[in-house]
Amino acid sequence: MLYGVPTPRRRDAQRNRSAIVQAAGELLLSRAAVLMPEIARRAGVGQATLYRHFPDRHALVAAVVADRLERLEAFVAAGAGRPSGFRDLLGEVLRTQLALRPLVRPAGGLEREARRRAVAALAPPLRRAQAGGEARADLAAEDLALLFAMLAGAADAAEPAGGLTAAAAERSIALLLDGVCPEPRLA
């Protein structure tokens, strides 16, 4: 920072940070118990570089979650002119929520921020889906936060028994999606 103005990161520093977030996302989403040196190795950087960008695990997890949310926001923005496909989009967001849950749950503020940003990103596609008759007309964007809470509740309830199985997770998501985007009935 020079004279109170943040200096842009050098290109190699940006590349290193991106590689670290990418590697951390891959490793942390596959298993929660990952050591920082393993993330540094996967990213192709030294531990000092990793810690220069992310002083602790919490900062790294926050960056991974922010990266996933930025991807969601970019994906939604890119599809602004296309037919909605809202059911598929919401399904992917719910699957991502389950994958990120072990990371964001210990930091309640991070989970709340992730929900807020996901709801904001999904609001325009929801309105398009409603206009096209693909989603319940009485659903408000804020109701999506309830869906996220319901899925989190299902995951929490299953945790003492070892967590949601893949089949139970998909069933939970399908039930939530049916409540938002009911399948059309044939006459």
Mean pLDDT of 157-186: 82
Mean pLDDT of 83-88: 80
Residue 139 has pLDDT above 90, yes or no: yes
Domains, in order of start, for the chain = 10-55 (1.10.10), 57-180 (1.10.357)
Report how far apart, in Å, the C-alpha atoms of 103 and of each of 75, 86, 111, 133, 167 are: 22, 26, 9, 35, 21
9 compared with 163, residue with greater pLDDT:
163
pLDDT score of 127: 92
Report how far apart, in Å, the C-alpha atoms of 88 and of each of 16, 71, 101, 120 are: 33, 16, 20, 17
